């Protein structure tokens, strides 16, 4: 069996180190890149073209769910496996919508993670038992979401990134510096985000992000 090239993304260094030790104890698994944020994961995926991206859901700056969508667009051959401490239905179903082939809880044992990797490697799916019920319910609905008109889907990729940065408490000036944009451009994006989401205050914007599972 050929070596599986893996991108590992988690914003906790110790978690990444532990996962890397587990994965590289198997001769057919190789971690070719690591990332500490969703944005970095997307860049690493573009650079390394991994076979598998293992992404933490709850990363800052760009969450794992949005990173998954961007990685799927930037590197169509990469399979995505989500790793999370959250068993909430919102996270699971959105991960499926973004093209993830599996969703594994962080409290799983090593064997479960390796089973998940083996399943998605062979073209299948894997979901931890604690979240599999949501997947079965989604399949029973024919893949339809309970909230198909979520305004989040109206946002562009750039607007989604700025939305999360705003919800995390970054100022317009901070975002402009981080993304290399003018302050006016960020202000324009912010206004469009709020208009599309139907929110009017910073507090409403943060609450909407929490409800969508973008931040906790």
CATH of 151-211, one of 1.10.275.30, 3.20.20.80, 1.10.10.10, 1.20.1740.10: 1.10.10.10
The candidate with the shortest Cα–Cα distance to 124, out of 75, 64, 81, 73, is: 81
Q: How far apart are CA 83 and CA 74, in angstroms?
A: 20
Predicted local confidence at residue 187, as pLDDT: 95
- Domain boundary assignment for the chain: 4-140, 151-211
Distance between alpha carbon 90 and the CA centroid of its chain, in Å?
12
Contact (Cβ atoms closer than 8 angstroms) between residue 117 and residue 4: yes
Contact (Cβ atoms closer than 8 angstroms) between residue 178 and residue 170: yes
pLDDT per position as a tens digit, 123-173:
999 988 888 776 666 554 554 444 444 788 889 989 999 998 998 889 999
Q: For the beta carbon of residue 51, count every other beta carbon within 10 angstroms.
A: 20
Contact (Cβ atoms closer than 8 angstroms) between residue 77 and residue 70: no
Which fold does the domain 4-140 belong to in CATH? Rossmann fold (3.40.50)
Predicted local confidence at residue 88, as pLDDT: 78
Q: What are phi and psi of 153, to 5 degrees?
A: -65, -15
Please list the rounded mean pLDDT of every run of 10 residues in the chain (216 residues): 92 92 94 95 95 93 90 91 86 84 89 93 89 64 51 88 91 93 95 93 87 74
Residue that the structure tokens 């587990």 belong to = 22
Predicted local confidence at residue 44, as pLDDT: 96
Q: How far is CA 113 from CA 6, 44, 102, in A?
A: 13, 22, 10
Q: For the beta carbon of residue 165, count every other beta carbon within 10 angstroms.
A: 22
Predicted local confidence at residue 99, as pLDDT: 86
């Amino acid at each position: 069996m050929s070596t599986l090239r893996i991108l590992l993304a988690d914003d906790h260094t110790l978690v990444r180190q532990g996962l890397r030790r587990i994965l590289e104890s198997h001769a057919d698994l190789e971690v070719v890149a690591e990332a500490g944020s969703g944005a970095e994961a997307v860049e690493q995926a573009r650079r390394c073209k991994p076979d598998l991206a293992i992404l933490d859901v709850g990363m800052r700056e760009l969450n794992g769910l949005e990173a998954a969508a961007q990685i799927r667009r930037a590197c169509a051959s990469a399979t995505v496996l989500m790793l999370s401490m959250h068993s909430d239905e919102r996270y699971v179903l959105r991960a499926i919508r973004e093209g993830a082939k599996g969703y594994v809880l962080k409290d799983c044992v090593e064997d479960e993670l390796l089973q998940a990797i083996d399943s998605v490697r062979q073209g299948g799916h894997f979901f931890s038992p604690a979240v599999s019920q949501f997947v079965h319910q989604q399949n029973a609905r024919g893949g339809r979401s309970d909230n198909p008109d979520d305004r989040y889907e109206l946002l562009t990729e750039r607007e989604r990134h700025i939305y999360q940065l705003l919800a995390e408490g970054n100022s317009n000036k901070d975002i402009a510096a981080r993304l290399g944009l003018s302050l006016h451009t960020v202000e324009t994006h912010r206004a469009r985000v709020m208009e599309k989401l139907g929110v009017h205050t910073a507090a409403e914007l943060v609450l909407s992000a929490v409800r969508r599972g973008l931040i906790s």
